[in-house]
Structure 1
Amino acid sequence: MRPGTLETAQRPFVLIWELTQACGLACNHCRADAKPQRHPDELSTAEGKALLKDAAEFGDGQLVVLSGGDPLVRDDVEELIASGDDLGLRMTITPSGTGSLTAGRIEAMADAGLKRMAVSLDGASAETHDAFRGEEGSFAETIRAVEDARAAGLPVQVNTTVCRQTVDELPAIRELLTDLGAVMWSVFFLVPVGRGRILEPITPERADVVMAWLAEVSETEPFGVKTTEAPQYRRVVMQRQGETAAGGEKGAAPDPGVKRRTGIVAGDGFAFVSHTGEVFPSGFLPESAGNVRDRPVTDSYRNSALFQSLRDRDRLSGKCGACPYRHVCGGSRSRAFAHTGDPLASDPLCPFVPEGYDGPLPWDDADGGARGVSSGG
């Protein structure tokens, strides 16, 4: 058994806290299916500070992402950032591109100890981005917010959703990121949850092509590149470099030359706390391992049966379970859950078929799937 690395068994690389699901936008891809009004059972400021104190038990420098909805709907964000910063947490935020993200609010968050701000760009122009976000003026607000963040000395990350509606925009978004001075491009491959169920994913074969292109981008641009809900990016990078899983053996350990962080998956290096305190492996995998009101987030992450199963790559089923890259990839557990109800099933976005595997293929039952490519193809 290989229940994750020692490091990921004890702490996530990324802990997201969804402050609220309230938001003034109606984005087509919204995981939270956000609504204008706040939920009456959201974690209070005091409960949020208790959560941050528990999160600090993961270890010094734990990364915490404040998300939503639109987290700036709440008026205690700066107080929470300062509290987390005092505890030694690396506090970051993903606000919505709305009028709530003023220059004054950005400066106040930076003064409170915010380390990075992430904004979403799903199109390289007002026409394409605003259409996807469902709000005229969202693109202009987002670009203005990036400029305000840079003026406040705050590094900016850009998040982009990849689906059939946005994939052709990626080259232009790449150019825009360079102009904006972004430090990181986080490219999210659609998981059909929330309002995202109405969107069309790209085919598995095209996903591999996009990931190979992203690997090239990472080598030539000044900003970093990471993928979300697409751990097969590690396999694509290794194959592009002419590498295999160490020794080329089934279930082999990660090649030491490939950074571990890029292979985190839901529950293994990643955890999510909902606006009402439920602890999920990911915001896209809404299975609860406990609530922070009655169980510390550290305990849910380290000891719950759900999280432990997700850290054991030998428990994966189907072609993911037979894949020689499973310990460096593992597939999107969130996408597997969304399509099958089983977080240990195969990820239907990955076209790779292990050599000699003759079991069921995940796209046989998935809409719009593509035939896979074998390890020799």
Structure 2
Amino acid sequence: MAPDNVHRQAAHERQARNRWMAETDFSRAPFTIAWEITRACAFSCVHCRADAQHRRNPAELTTEEGYALIDRLTEFGSPILVFTGGDPMMRRDLFELIKYADAAGLRCSLTPTATALPTVARLRRAQQAGVRRIALSLDAPLPEVHDDFRKVAGSWERTMTILRSAKSLGISTQVNTTVTSHNVDLLPEMVTFVQEVGAVQWSVFFLVPMGRGQQLSMISPQQHEEVLVWLYELSRAGGFDVKATAAPMYRRVAAQRGAGGSAIGAGFAFHDGLDRPAQGVNDGRGFLFISHLGDVMPSGFLPIIAGNVRRDDVVDIYRNHPLFRGLRDPERLTGKCGVCEFRDVCGGQRGRAYAVTGDPFASDPACAYVPSGWTA
């Protein structure tokens, strides 16, 4: 294709995505879909949501079932499809699945584990198949802290090697950091490493205590608030985007500090090339999770099964299942979240509420904010 035609096609694709984003209604389509294509993983990370296993489950969705699933996901438009796990590189058909999804118009992202599998050659294959972003976990600036967290000696150095390799190939990279009481004081030291590997985004994940993550201590509500304020100030410095994952109250923090004050968007502006929405994504509201066995849930951190793609229509589940519809209805929220003036902007992290209280509509126990209309 001639260079001018390539540029025109790229511009056309950007315009199409922008129209899709402008028209996206989270009651009709998610922005992000995470597909746990396998639960197999060589690591035993102490925070693991999935209780990952060392061997693949023979009941995983097959390649053909994966293709059929991808075909249905295109009904949503062009959401981001995250190939995750476990370790997605433990599936031999990974690149075929990515290529199929990319050809179908889905925007593919990959979250490999820092093992020997993500070689330069495999990273290049992922790139050629259509991966637009890879994300790796780096939980501390010190190898000994990160390696203890991941329970694999040398995993810190391997993570840095993979990130540098991706940078050399021109693959957009994202650094994920899980915040717990073990590393909260080390977060400022992480900035240098995010910059060094040229990450376009730092996704700071606030622990949801489930799976092996139940063994860890969440930071306190006040610590959550302090970290979120610090992240907001960091985001204003530029250099890379900052995303607070499993912490929708970050949008409230930003709105309170004058980041535009929008009732929906809180003034966010992302520059990572994924056309992120102004409205807040939350479990079941802009987000959809599909397990390695085909179970459909609002997210991997809200493990309430609403159906299975082998017998149910994933599009119908997202749009019409009572659980998903309830999660998109602010009137269903209870406690502080139910009376909070920021509930449309934030809504609280539904997975954390469920993990701690057993009620997905309860208040987020990590939030320190006291709404004006709240009386305990």
Asked whether the two chains share a fold, i.e. TM above 0.5, the reply is yes
What are the equivalent positions in structure 2 for 1:21-32 lying under 5 Å apart? 21-32=39-50
Which residue type is aligned with residue 134 of structure 1? Answer: K
Identity %: 48
Check the 8 A contact 1:336/1:345 in 2, yes or no.
Answer: yes
Q: Shift of the alpha carbon at 1:135?
A: 0.3
Q: Shift of the alpha carbon at 1:151?
A: 2.0
Check the 8 A contact 1:226/1:262 in 2, yes or no.
Answer: no
Partner of 2:108: 91
State the distance in 2 between where 1:201 and 1:49 align.
38
Partner of 2:251: 234
What are the equivalent positions in structure 2 for 1:266-281 lying under 5 Å apart? 266-281=283-298
Q: Tell me, what secondary structure is at the counterpart of 1:48?
A: helix
State the distance in 2 between where 1:25 and 1:52 align.
28
State the distance in 2 between where 1:254 and 1:130 align.
39
Per-residue CA deviation, residues 50-79 of structure 1 (Å, 9 max, x unaligned), is 1111111101x2110000010101111100
Per-residue CA deviation, residues 236-275 of structure 1 (Å, 9 max, x unaligned), is 111122876x7xxxxxx43674565462110001110000
Partner of 2:82: 65
Partner of 1:44: 62
Q: Shift of the alpha carbon at 1:179?
A: 1.1
What are the equivalent positions in structure 2 for 1:187-202 lying under 5 Å apart? 187-202=204-219
State the distance in 2 between where 1:292 and 1:142 align.
33
Which residue type is aligned with residue 117 of structure 2? Answer: S
State the distance in 2 between where 1:161 and 1:128 align.
12
Partner of 1:302: 319
Which residue type is aligned with residue 355 of structure 2? Answer: A
Which residue type is aligned with residue 57 of structure 2? Answer: H
Check the 8 A contact 2:174/2:202 in 1, yes or no.
Answer: yes
Partner of 2:230: 213
Which residue type is aligned with residue 19 of structure 1? Answer: I
State the distance in 2 between where 1:195 and 1:42 align.
21
Which residue type is aligned with residue 22 of structure 1? Answer: A
Partner of 1:16: 34
Check the 8 A contact 2:202/2:240 in 1, yes or no.
Answer: yes
Partner of 2:143: 126
Partner of 1:225: 242
State the distance in 2 between where 1:254 and 1:186 align.
21
Partner of 1:55: 73
Which residue type is aligned with residue 153 of structure 1? Answer: G
Q: Tell me, what secondary structure is at the counterpart of 2:228?
A: helix
Q: Shift of the alpha carbon at 1:43?
A: 0.6
The yes-or-no answer on 1:161 pairing with 2:178 is yes
State the distance in 2 between where 1:262 and 1:77 align.
31
State the distance in 2 between where 1:200 and 1:185 align.
22
What are the equivalent positions in structure 2 for 1:66-81 lying under 5 Å apart? 66-81=83-98
The yes-or-no answer on 1:149 pairing with 2:166 is yes
State the distance in 1 between where 2:169 and 2:373 align.
55
Which residue type is aligned with residue 30 of structure 1? Answer: C
Check the 8 A contact 2:34/2:290 in 1, yes or no.
Answer: yes
State the distance in 1 between where 2:125 and 2:366 align.
41
State the distance in 2 between where 1:118 and 1:294 align.
31
State the distance in 1 between where 2:100 and 2:238 align.
35
Partner of 2:126: 109
What are the equivalent positions in structure 2 for 1:317-328 lying under 5 Å apart? 317-328=334-345
Please, which runs of 5 or more residues in structure 2 have no aligned partner? 1-22, 270-276
Q: Tell me, what secondary structure is at the counterpart of 1:279?
A: strand
Provide TM-score, normalisation by structure 2: 0.89
State the distance in 1 between where 2:251 and 2:244 align.
9
Higher deviation after alignment, 167-176 or 272-281: 167-176
Per-residue CA deviation, residues 134-154 of structure 1 (Å, 9 max, x unaligned), is 000111111111111122221
Which residue type is aligned with residue 264 of structure 2? Answer: P
Check the 8 A contact 1:81/1:114 in 2, yes or no.
Answer: yes
Q: Tell me, what secondary structure is at the counterpart of 1:212?
A: helix
Q: Shift of the alpha carbon at 1:296?
A: 2.2
State the distance in 1 between where 2:152 and 2:186 align.
18
Per-residue CA deviation, residues 16-36 of structure 1 (Å, 9 max, x unaligned), is 000111100010110001110
Partner of 1:293: 310
State the distance in 2 between where 1:153 and 1:243 align.
33
Which residue type is aligned with residue 138 of structure 1? Answer: S
Check the 8 A contact 1:277/1:292 in 2, yes or no.
Answer: yes
Partner of 2:264: 254
Please, which runs of 5 or more residues in structure 1 have no aligned partner? 247-252, 360-377
Check the 8 A contact 1:119/1:142 in 2, yes or no.
Answer: yes
Check the 8 A contact 2:334/2:363 in 1, yes or no.
Answer: yes
Check the 8 A contact 1:188/1:230 in 2, yes or no.
Answer: yes
Q: Tell me, what secondary structure is at the counterpart of 2:26?
A: helix
State the distance in 2 between where 1:261 and 1:356 align.
26
Check the 8 A contact 2:248/2:347 in 1, yes or no.
Answer: yes
Q: Shift of the alpha carbon at 1:172?
A: 1.2
Please identify runs of 4+ aligned residues in structure 1 that moved more than 4 A: 258-262
Which residue type is aligned with residue 29 of structure 2? Answer: R
Higher deviation after alignment, 124-133 or 184-193: 124-133
Q: Tell me, what secondary structure is at the counterpart of 1:352?
A: coil
State the distance in 2 between where 1:342 and 1:326 align.
17
Q: Shift of the alpha carbon at 1:157?
A: 0.4
Q: Tell me, what secondary structure is at the counterpart of 1:10?
A: coil
Partner of 2:364: 347
State the distance in 2 between where 1:356 and 1:132 align.
40
Which residue type is aligned with residue 254 of structure 1? Answer: I
